Amino acid sequence: MTEERVTRSGASHLLAESAVYFCSLLSQDMLHDSLTEISRLSSDYFHLMPRADAEFTRLEPVDSAEKLAAERARVERTAQLDVAERMLLAAMWRKREINPMDYIYRF
């Protein structure tokens, strides 16, 4: 009876170690997949929003909250510049109908 108990105890210990090892492999695979996806998405993002200061350097992936906040701020600034540019172009297009300053402040 004690031998059977020892065998069961050893088997359950071995089973627990195998489960921990399998979970670590699974989490390593999930981590690898997640990091690969972050790298791919960062590459796609920098393709759409290139950085002038990193023309010939390797870009680091956006993998932290600080980097994400900085890139969001950069996108926001770019969007604001885009709106301003469109307003100026529209004001210049309609300058014969309305004063450009009035056009900008009106709309």
Q: Are 76 and 67 in contact (CB under 8 A)?
A: no
Q: Which of 68, 74, 76, 66 is nearest to 38 (CA)?
A: 68
Exposure pattern of 13-37 as b/e (b: 16+ CB <10 Å)? eeeeeeeeeeeeeeeeeeeeeeeee
pLDDT computed for residue 26 by the predictor: 63
Residues with Cβ within 8 Å of residue 61, at least 6 apart in sequence: 38, 39, 42, 43
Q: What share of the chain is helix, strand, coil (3-state, %, to 5)?
A: 80, 0, 20
Mean pLDDT by 10 residues, the chain (107 residues): 47 58 69 85 86 78 87 91 91 90 82
Domain boundaries, the chain: 1-55, 64-107
What pLDDT is recorded for position 13? 53
What integer pLDDT is reported at residue 77 of this predicted model?
Answer: 93
